[in-house]
């Protein structure tokens, strides 16, 4: 998270549509105008529901053509009333709009972009638009029918609006609509300007452009529509698909970046990539012990080691760990772990051990990881120092208990239970959860979508002379 904050501060896993900043500034301005503070939040919620209704109607025949928060429920709402001429405002677009609505997910980002300021008032939303935020709000205010706004804020759940009226509003509000020159200028300046967090975001984008690492996302395939409250619905499938999309996009940036010569400007991305691979290897090693223990209830460390050795070959127990690990690059090993091939847990464990050894034995990766390492990464680097004299099986059996201990400590900090416990030389199932082999978000997927929305070019982030 610290690396993501250094590379793209102010973005998060949901801030992937540029026009949401425009919409929310407009919604805040309209919600706070001529209304008591206690009504402001509900008025914002109503305008969020208006956007979902208009987007769902606008893209009724192509429901994946535009992504927005609440798309799944918006599509259901429109599908259930297909063909209707008159429409009411939805009363619900999310399981919990207060926690997972657009304002909640974008609020910190709005402040980072200099579009809102937090205030100390006890009433209302506790924020106000800045001059730039008001300028952005004005771009949408000129385009939206006042009758639709009044219907939304005052009586949208009791009255109805004609389909054509809502389609017209949707065309003007749509997050995929072509934006005007002034709106685009304000958004680019807010995201990548010379003030506050914009400087760090601009520098990261400059480096990505310089090395042709900034791919453009497809609007229909991003993770914005996989709302936060869908994590527990449909067996977690929407959240899993979003996480896989994040992984593919992060890997699309990191893999070529890690292959490039190291420079001062590129190093922050390469260090973040090295940490991503260390995390992947540690998670894979933990997963290789978690799966059989969850199935059997108990598993001895000796059995776990023996099963991995059976897949890893004779050198796993007969030669030094360095000799067994060979010379594949860490990125090559990581690619095997990240592909779609179903693998049994002994093979996952084998690849995890290979990746972790290669990270410590490769001079560049060891240097990237060794600059102010976290405790678990420091432990990993110390572990690989014995690779020339110890066997891979011995090192694996030494690292796994440390990893179980680390997971226990992290779980305590999060207020959650342990998944595995160590009972002497045996692993015991406690409260296991599935582990997916992913690259945690560095917000490159969100950046790619923002860049696509803005039709961003290198000249947009060039330093002023």
Q: What is the pLDDT of residue 228?
A: 45
Residue 461, class by beta-carbon neighbours within 10 Å (0-12 exposed, 13-18 middle, 19+ buried)? buried
Number of CB atoms found within 10 A of residue 176's CB: 18
- Residue 123: per-residue pLDDT: 74
Per-residue pLDDT at 159: 82
Q: What is the structure's pLDDT at 227?
A: 47
| pLDDT for residue 23 | 97
Per-run averaged pLDDT (10 residues), the chain, 465 residues: 92 93 97 92 96 95 90 93 92 91 96 91 85 95 90 79 94 93 96 91 96 70 45 48 81 95 95 96 96 96 97 96 97 95 96 98 96 91 96 96 91 86 94 87 89 94 76
Burial 414-441 (b: 16+ CB within 10 A, else e): eeeebbbebeeeebebeeeeebebbbbb
Residue 364, SS3 per DSSP: helix
* Parallel, antiparallel or unpaired: strands 116-118 and 127-129: antiparallel
Q: Return the pLDDT at 253.
A: 94
CB atoms within 10 A of CB 297: 10
> Residue 249 in contact with residue 443, Cβ under 8 Å?
no
Reference 94, options 32, 65, 51; nearest CA is 51
Write down the pLDDT at residue 221: 47
Q: Quick check: 327 and 397 in contact, CB under 8 A?
A: no
Residue 234: CB partners within 8 Å, gap ≥ 6? none
What pLDDT, on the 0 to 100 scale, is given for residue 188? 97
Q: In the 8-state DSSP scheme, what is residue 298?
A: E
Sequence-distant (6+) residues with CB within 8 A of 99 are 228, 229
Q: According to the model, what pLDDT value does residue 237 have?
A: 52
| pLDDT value of residue 222 | 45
CA 266 vs CA 179, 208, 254, 394, 458: distances in Å? 32, 9, 11, 36, 16
Q: Provide the pLDDT for residue 205.
A: 97
- What is the reported pLDDT for 249? 87
**Would you state the pLDDT for residue 365?**
97
């Amino acid at each position: 998270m610290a690396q993501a904050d250094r590379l793209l501060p102010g973005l998060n896993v949901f801030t992937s549509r540029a026009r949401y900043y425009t919409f929310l500034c407009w919604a805040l301005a309209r919600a706070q105008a001529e209304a008591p503070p206690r009504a402001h939040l509900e008025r914002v919620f109503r305008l969020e529901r208006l956007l979902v209704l208009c987007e769902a109607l606008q893209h009724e025949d192509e429901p994946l053509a535009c992504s927005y928060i609440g798309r799944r429920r918006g599509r259901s709402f429109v599908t259930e009333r297909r063909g209707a001429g008159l429409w009411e405002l939805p009363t619900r677009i999310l399981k919990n709009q207060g926690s997972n609505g657009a304002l909640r997910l974008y609020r910190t980002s709005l402040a980072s972009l200099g579009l809102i300021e937090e205030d100390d008032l006890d009433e209302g939303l506790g924020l106000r638009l800045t001059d730039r935020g008001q300028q952005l709000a004005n771009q949408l205010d000129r385009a939206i029918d006042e009758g639709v706004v009044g219907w939304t804020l005052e009586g949208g759940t009791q009255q109805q609006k004609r389909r054509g009226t809502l389609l017209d509003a949707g065309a003007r509000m749509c997050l995929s609509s072509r934006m005007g020159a002034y709106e685009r200028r304000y958004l680019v300046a807010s995201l990548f300007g010379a003030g506050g967090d914009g400087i760090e975001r601009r520098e990261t984008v400059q480096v990505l452009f310089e090395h042709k690492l900034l791919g453009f996302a497809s609007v229909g395939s991003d993770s914005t529509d996989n709302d936060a409250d869908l994590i527990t619905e449909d067996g977690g499938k929407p959240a899993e698909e979003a996480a896989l999309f994040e992984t593919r996009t992060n890997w699309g940036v990191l893999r070529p970046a890690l292959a490039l010569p190291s420079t001062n400007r590129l190093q922050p991305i390469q260090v973040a990539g090295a940490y991503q691979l260390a995390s992947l290897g540690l998670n894979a090693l933990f997963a290789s012990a978690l799966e059989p223990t969850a199935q059997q209830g108990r598993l001895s460390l000796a059995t776990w080691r023996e099963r991995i050795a059976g897949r890893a070959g004779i050198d796993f127990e007969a030669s030094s760990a360095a000799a067994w690990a060979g010379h594949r690059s860490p990125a090559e090993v990581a690619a095997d772990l990240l592909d779609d091939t179903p693998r049994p847990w002994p093979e996952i464990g084998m690849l995890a051990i290979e990746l972790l050894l290669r990270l410590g034995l490769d001079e560049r990766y060891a240097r990237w990881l060794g600059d102010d390492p976290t405790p678990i990464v420091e432990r990993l680097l110390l572990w690989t120092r014995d690779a020339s004299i110890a066997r891979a099986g011995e090192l694996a059996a030494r690292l796994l208990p440390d990893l179980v201990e680390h997971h226990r400590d992290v779980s305590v900090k999060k207020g959650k239970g342990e998944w595995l416990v160590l009972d002497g030389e045996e692993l015991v199932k406690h409260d296991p959860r599935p582990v997916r082999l992913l690259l945690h978000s560095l917000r490159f997927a969100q950046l790619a979508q923002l860049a696509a929305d803005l039709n961003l070019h290198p000249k947009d982030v060039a330093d002023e002379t």
